[in-house]
Amino acid sequence: MESEKKSARPEEKVPVRLGFRSSVRPYQDDGTVAMDWTVDPSSDTPPSRQLVEIVLDAAARGELAAGACLPSVRRLTGEAMVNHNTVARAWRDLERLGIVAGQNGRGVFITPEGPDLARERRRASTLVALKKALSEALRAGHDLADLQRLLEGETRRSA
């Protein structure tokens, strides 16, 4: 939505962009998505990768819809308490994955295909982790029937 305000010259009208709101996620005054950007400094996962994971998880769950604006590097640096190069690296990594696209002077936005790509990446990575955990459990001597019951119990709980 745009409205117009008068400029210093009466014949010239300057467009003013009004902020938008979404029912998907609460937005802040600057139009960016309000999220928990907590980075764990004691984690083995690098901080930039943690930020990538936060965005992938939110996009995969549908909390970040196509077109959602991510915080600027400067703003997120203060919010996540990380170096600006860390945030810039995370945004570059997400751009390489096709999840986000930067627009000069406007910000970094979730691409139209971003949520679907995030879901695909999440599903693939969780299946790899599940296969690894199953393999380790079987090597450790757990019974296949016990593992099946555990999986069925978790399935019922999350349904």
Provide DSSP, the chain: -EEEEE-SSTT-EEEEEPP---SSS-B-TTSBBP------TTSSS-HHHHHHHHHHHHHHHTSS-TTPEEPPHHHHHHHHT--HHHHHHHHHHHHHHTSEEEETTTEEEE-TTHHHHHHHHHHHHHHHHHHHHHHHHHHTT--HHHHHHHHHHHHHHH-
Give 89-148 pLDDT, tens digit per residue: 999 999 999 999 999 989 999 999 999 999 999 999 999 999 999 999 999 999 999 999
Give 36-76 pLDDT, tens digit per residue: 899 999 999 999 999 999 999 999 999 999 999 999 999 99
Number of domains into which the chain is organized: 1
Range of the domain at 108: 25-117
| CATH number for the domain harbouring residue 46 | 1.10.10.10
Give 12-28 pLDDT, tens digit per residue: 443 333 333 344 444 45
**Residue 63 belongs to a domain:** yes
